[in-house]
Structure 1
């Protein structure tokens, strides 16, 4: 029997199995063919398995939101990622190795050392179980979205475009769902905080994902050697993501996109990273010496977050009355105080939200502050690792940032001056 005949036979059996499940009203039997297909892809076609995961990422939901389970896994992607982690570990134990050039890559070094240090901070954690779960989940994200994705990109240059498309299509569906729900509430700011549920926990994670997706979507519009239809679709996708980003009312996403746009312009103008780093250091020192005057100036801004987009933008610098901004200051202060108490190993991966409450200062608490470990994190990708993993945890994150910036600037110069 040829492979083609075997494939047709397997497809027929799976179709009959799914039909039987539908006819007998047995959901588990209906999805069994899909599960078998994913298992086969996992062992023989990792690229297709990753493609399925990528497509499902924006559509995944947390079952704990519906009270079905207390396990905070996003279904079905995180179990799929965990299965992929087990498969890769088994392959590694059986003697299969990774590409040497990839292992020697600077980003791989930083990611690997950061992951090892994260594991070392599990043992002295204030909650070992929580930290162990956080460490294992970090493992399946690194394996799937760094190690295996990099290998896929190396094998197939077009995989990078497929990667973006596999994320953009389902994300566009989530944006449509969110905007339709949001429209029912008149696009109010308050409703904008939760209308993306159950696909995203809140507007901050939703806005962050859209902000990360927008630049590559725009870049694909100007990609050479593509059909007119493809360019039109990427243009529509970029406009759709931009619309979702604006109506997410996520100010951090807006600021991040503005900063990224400014950085891109400076890169195109030929500025080197070390020049920008020196300028940034000079600005930082200047801010330290003029801190009091800056705070006085910022406190004059009384514009709170608003349904009006212009007023919402203006409220970004309001540190006198805007509850969201003040809560960020509260979380940052807690993270720094937590770091000062445990500067070496930190409090443990994933523990910030359960430990920060006692570190809140009365003058920094807001109407949205809480003592329960169920709302948010440090609101900083820099201070969070510092509080949870100590000094080295923060330094590894900064190292990852600096290395990727260095390689990005180097690549841009290479492309501009081949």
Structure 2
């Protein structure tokens, strides 16, 4: 046996024995029972070094099942989702080390227009973290956004670059999501399925509340529908997708999330526009006309909305109609209160804002007594701006909103142009499903904000990575075809 092989084997056994004795010392001598997870940590570390794609799949699978650290350690000064966010942080460190060592990464992914828009957004978050009124909070927010982008966008786009693994990524989230749906539905049964108030807490500790749970179910429905309708998948896969769609739809309905329900309706409208190939010009004219009419008659519209006294209810039709109740529905009124605070904060600091992640600590003094509701609070545990658009505007100024909107615009443009260019039916279907799934969250983002959680970041950045990867692949295929013809 070669000497190098003998040395490697000896080192392997030496390190393994040392690790076992270290673990025994922690458990027996120090009574640190949680040291039993060290072998698992070591295994994940090896997996990350030799096969980072498996770690990404693991994160996608664990995201619906992850639990906030405060559930384990109440009163701790910071919070993160366990075990997904430590895994993402580890991936970030590994990514930095690999780039330093190899001095390269896939340039087509790095320099894609969507990627450039993401960097611009991160750069502005960095600038506004420096100028933040609470720098520690803002830099923590920046670090968290970076590990989401690196792990769930850049590295995930790399494992999608050959047009493979995308269905696996979807299923790895959907399967544990169904487990959460079974769990929450079982708990919901104890209160009665039509008890809307129970929907707020039966998803705990896996989801923050019923709205994030509703957003997660909505974002995956387009993919499950695509699996059923697409003939590129086997009969067994389509049957599995039909069963999964039934379960996810159950969770979607029992979430009692009006924002999620509204997002699906709008997403269906976008799907119809794409399928009917309605041209951009008449669509743009229609949207502008609607906006002009709204601002022209905004006083009359607001008066009409104030006449709606329907409040959120277990009755589905009443619950839907309560969406426009801005006079007595506490949830709607509190959103308006938070949005008004965000606008006032923006007016005070329109250029750099108060700093990323600071809204919840700073909005209290911007509440007006006439806007406060029975669920208003001055404390930092009262949630955020309830908007993926107004939140960045208040926290990072006008460019905070503009750079986020730029990401969305470029993703939609890339998806639509790729969809129309592709001839591969499977990839066309994936691009469309990913876009419609993202649209559900783009719409949901007007009413809530969850991009600071793994629950929504996994599909949000993962579906964006799918669109970018397929766009790059389709352009490469076009070039190869042109070269063959020449």
State the shift of 1:215 in Å: 1.3
Map of 1:17-416 to 2, 5 A cutoff? 27-68=33-74, 69-155=76-162, 157-187=163-193, 188-415=195-422
Determine helix, strand or coil for the equivalent of 1:94: helix
The answer on whether the counterparts of 1:273 and 1:409 sit within 8 Å (CA) in structure 2 is: no
On the 8 A contact 2:227/2:233 being kept in 1, the answer is: no
Q: Are the structure 2 counterparts of residues 203 and 282 from structure 1 closer, same or farther at C-alpha, using a change threshold of 3 Å?
A: same
What's the offset of the Cα at 1:397?
1.1
What secondary structure, in the 3-state scheme, does the structure 1 residue paired with 2:357 have?
A: coil
Can you list the C-alpha shifts for 1:86-115, whole angstroms capped at 9, x where unaligned?
111122222432212112211001101110
8 A contact 1:207–1:248 mirrored in 2? yes
- Whether contact under 8 Å (1:272, 1:409) holds in the other structure is no
RMSD: 2.3
Distance 1:417 1:57 in 2: 31
- 1:378-417: CA deviation from partner (whole Å, max 9, x where unpaired): 1111111100110111101111111112122212322479
Mapped to 2, the partners of 1:144 and 1:46 lie a distance apart of 9
Alpha-carbon contact 1:62-1:73 (below 8 Å) kept: yes
Cα-to-partner distance string for 1:285-337 (whole Å, 9 max, x where unaligned): 11000101111111121000011112111111111110101111111111111
Gaps of 5+ in 2: 426-486
Residues 164 and 217 in structure 1, CA contact (< 8 A), matched pair in contact too: no
Shift of 1:373: 1.0
Query: Which is bigger in relative contact order (C-alpha 8 A, separation at least 6)?
Result: 2
Q: CA 1:326 to 1:166, structure 2 compared with 1: closer, same or farther past 3 Å? A: same
| Cα distance, 1:273 vs structure 2 | 3.7
The size of the alignment, in residue pairs, is: 408
TM-score (norm 2): 0.80
Alignment partners' CA distance in 1, 2:284 and 2:116: 22
Partners of 2:423 and 2:259 in 1: CA distance: 31
Is this contact kept in 2: 1:196–1:203, CA < 8 A? yes
- TM, length-normalised to structure 1: 0.92
Q: 1:37 to 1:108 in 2, by over 3 A?
A: same
SS of aligned partner of 2:65: coil
Tell me the distance in 1 between the aligned counterparts of 2:281 and 2:380: 41
